[in-house]
């Protein structure tokens, strides 16, 4: 009897469970992949969300760019239909003395902006980052960044009032110091540097904030180790700090160059391009050709050349950054 019972248990243990039991069944998952209509609906929703950006790019960026390229090969004065002239507009630029002058002015603005904006911004950032109390850091950041939030037209109007020959505060305090008044807005050299001063003052705040953020990311251990080894402040800045913030320097220099090539508003308000063409920029000159002289074709050719100059200069900057920008 015990032997039969054991045999029965062993047989029962090896008997497979019957199929079709409702309580122990596990149903295989059904295929729930979306059908064609559902997939099309999802894609249509995505396209609907990106359509404003795509339409805006086509209408306000790509479309005008294609139109400018076409008009640069035509003679077009808005009134009559465009007439195809080939490369005549580009040949004209080679013999346009005024265009050569305004390109020289623009190059001066680019060089001055790169040197002064980045030089002063980096100096202020280093001073702010050198153990200054937190409340003072906030105050200085706000004071120098505030001009970046104001329209350049309003800033230029304020500086124009300051630089007036007879009633401006600049010449008033120069007179108090026994210095003769300066023709800030009516002399060739003075008007150029007036534009540089206003452009530097307006853009220094943003560059300073970027440098401050980069300086705060420099590990203190590196500076402390250099000080232990006997390195001075200038050696530490040159060998450690400057390489560590080289990416911020590259970004600020690139943005400054692109912006300086397109300088326009401050010159319009301060000097209107005068005296003569001594302060006129390329953007101001092409705007004059397009909207005052109605030479849309020639202005388009100038715009295309300016676009390619900025593109080439930016490409060169990206090319040579490998030699001095440190990537962590």
Structural domain boundaries, residue 61: 37-71
Classify the C-alpha dihedral 94-284-318-68 as positive or negative: negative
Residues 172 and 102 in one domain: yes
pLDDT, tens digit (0-9, with 9 covering 90-100), for 276-305:
899 999 999 999 999 999 999 999 999 999
**Is the entire prediction scored with pTM above 0.85?**
no
Residues in Cβ contact with 305 at an 8 Å cutoff, skipping those fewer than 6 apart: 90, 93
Q: How far apart are CA 245 and CA 205, in angstroms?
A: 17
Residues 41 and 120 in one domain: no
Which pairs count as long-range contacts for 124-132, CB under 8 Å and 24+ apart, including other chains? 124/204, 124/208, 124/211, 125/208, 125/211, 125/212, 125/214, 125/215, 126/211, 126/215, 126/237, 126/241, 128/208, 128/212, 129/212, 129/215, 129/216
Inter-residue contact 312 to 256 (CB < 8 Å): no
Residues 54 and 97 in one domain: no
Residues 112 and 48 in one domain: no
Residues 142 and 66 in one domain: no
Residues 138 and 176 in one domain: yes
Residues 164 and 129 in one domain: yes
328 residues of the chain, pLDDT tens digit each: 444 444 444 444 444 444 444 444 455 555 555 567 777 777 788 888 889 999 999 999 999 999 999 999 999 988 889 999 999 999 999 999 999 999 999 999 999 999 999 999 999 999 888 877 778 888 888 888 888 888 888 999 999 999 998 889 999 999 999 898 888 988 888 899 999 999 999 999 999 999 999 998 888 888 888 888 888 888 888 888 898 999 999 999 999 999 999 999 999 999 999 888 999 999 999 999 999 999 999 999 999 999 999 999 999 999 998 888 887 5
pLDDT, tens digit (0-9, with 9 covering 90-100), for 223-282:
888 888 888 888 888 888 898 999 999 999 999 999 999 999 999 999 999 888 999 999
The CA dihedral of 275, 281, 285, 287, to the nearest 10 degrees, is -120
Residues 208 and 100 in one domain: yes
Residues 243 and 316 in one domain: yes
Residue 149, in any domain of the structure? yes
**Domains identified in the chain, total number:** 2
Residue 259, in any domain of the structure? yes
Inter-residue contact 78 to 86 (CB < 8 Å): no
Classify the C-alpha dihedral 274-277-278-281 as positive or negative: positive
Q: Which residue has the tokens 């319009």?
A: 268
């Amino acid at each position: 009897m015990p032997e039969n019972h054991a045999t029965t248990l062993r047989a029962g243990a090896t008997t497979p469970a019957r199929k079709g039991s409702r309580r122990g069944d596990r149903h295989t998952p059904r295929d729930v992949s979306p059908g064609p209509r559902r997939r099309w609906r999802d894609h249509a929703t995505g396209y609907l969300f990106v359509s404003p950006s795509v339409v805006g790019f086509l209408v306000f960026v790509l479309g005008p760019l294609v139109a400018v390229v076409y008009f640069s090969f035509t003679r077009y004065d808005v009134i009559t239909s465009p007439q195809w002239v080939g490369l005549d507009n580009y040949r004209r630029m080679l013999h346009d003395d005024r265009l050569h002058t305004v390109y020289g002015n623009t190059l001066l603005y680019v060089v001055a902006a790169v040197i002064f904006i980045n030089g002063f911004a980096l100096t202020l950032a280093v001073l702010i980052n050198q153990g200054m109390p937190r409340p003072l850091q906030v105050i200085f950041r706000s004071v120098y960044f505030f001009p970046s939030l104001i329209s350049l037209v309003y800033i230029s109007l304020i500086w124009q009032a300051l630089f007036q020959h007879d009633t401006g505060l600049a010449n008033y305090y120069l007179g108090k110091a026994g210095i003769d008044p300066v023709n800030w807005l009516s002399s060739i050299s003075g008007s150029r540097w007036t534009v540089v001063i206003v452009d530097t003052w307006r853009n220094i705040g943003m560059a300073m904030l970027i440098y401050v953020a980069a300086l705060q990311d420099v590990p203190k251990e590196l500076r402390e180790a250099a000080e232990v080894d006997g390195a001075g402040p200038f050696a530490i800045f040159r060998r450690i700090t400057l390489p560590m913030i080289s990416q911020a320097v590259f970004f600020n220099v690139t943005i400054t160059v692109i912006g300086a090539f397109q300088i326009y508003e401050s010159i319009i308000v301060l000097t209107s391009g005068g005296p003569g063409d001594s302060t006129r920029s390329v953007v101001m000159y092409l705007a004059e050709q397009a909207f005052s002289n109605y030479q849309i074709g020639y202005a388009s050719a100038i715009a295309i050349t300016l676009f390619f100059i900025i593109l080439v200069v930016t490409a060169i900057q990206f090319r040579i950054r490998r030699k001095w920008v440190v990537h962590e």
